[in-house]
Amino acid sequence: MIFAANFKMHHTRASTTEYLDQLDKLLAEAEYPFKTIVFPPATALQPSREWITVGAQNAYPEERGAFTGEIGLDQLKEFGLDTVLIGHSERRNILGEEQEFLAKKFAFYAGHGFQIVYCVGEPLEVREAGDEAVAEYLWEQFDGIDLDYERLVVAYEPIWAIGTGRAAKVEEIAATHAELRRRIARPILYGGSVKPTNIKEIASVKDVDGVLVGGASLEVESFFSLMVAIAPPQV
Ligand code: PEP
């Protein structure tokens, strides 16, 4: 099971450091078999901890260069990082990143051996059009993406469930993950309003290999409680 935390534009460098210190300690004590990834904002990037992989929420597909406001491979390598999030709906829809550009990012960071958490997700009108429409929409978001890449982790995040408090129903998650599983052998995470109250039922869905969490990951106690809900630490 993978637990990934997406801080988005929350937390500072100081609060991220404090968060990672606290979480790493809790994870060391609990000795969970889970894999934990934290994506802080770019200003708070720092080396991974013993029990936590730190990843970048975004990175430009170049080593360095004239790309104002971006960070690239050189900046990530300085911290020894090799995990990146690509295709989050906020980058697709708010920052206007198109599929061709996402595929370029994917190919670049895959070419450098990165672990890539690659996000896909449909808007509400597509969900309302039914499973077939959802499948068609999602597969288009894999255009140009190597589904056999060995360090690929997919995150299915229905846009209408992100930050809304309304997670997808277990049947919707099960059907969508089963569809993705037809062609994806790598881990598939679910994301969208995962919280301590629904983690258990979401984690029990077949083909859910982990979760990508926004709001409920911002406090250490809340993020850790997702893991505790699945496996209370042995005392
Ligand atoms: C996300 O943005 O990746 C996300 C899943 O957010 P939230 O958990 O707040 O819905």
Per-residue model confidence as pLDDT tens digits over 175-230: 999 999 999 999 999 999 999 999 999 999 999 999 999 999 999 999 999 999 99
Which two tokens mark 57? 């929420």
Can you list the residues of the chain whose pLDDT is less than 70? 234-235
DSSP state of 235: -
CA–CA gap between residue 127 and residue 87 (Å, rounded): 19
pLDDT at 235: 57
Q: Which residues are catalytic?
A: 88, 157
Cα 10 to ligand 1 centroid, rounded to whole Å: 12
Q: Does 162 contact ligand 1 (Cβ within 6 A)?
A: yes
Neighbours of 229 (CB within 10 A): 15
Does residue 192's CB lie within 6 angstroms of at least one atom of ligand 1? Answer: yes
pLDDT value of residue 232: 76
Domains of the chain: 2-230 (3.20.20.70)
Predicted model pTM: 0.97
Give the H/E segment covering residue 229: helix 220-230
Q: What is the pLDDT of residue 234?
A: 65
Distance 189 CA to ligand 1 centre (A): 12
214 lines ligand 1 (CB under 6 A): yes
Please give the pLDDT value at position 153. Answer: 98
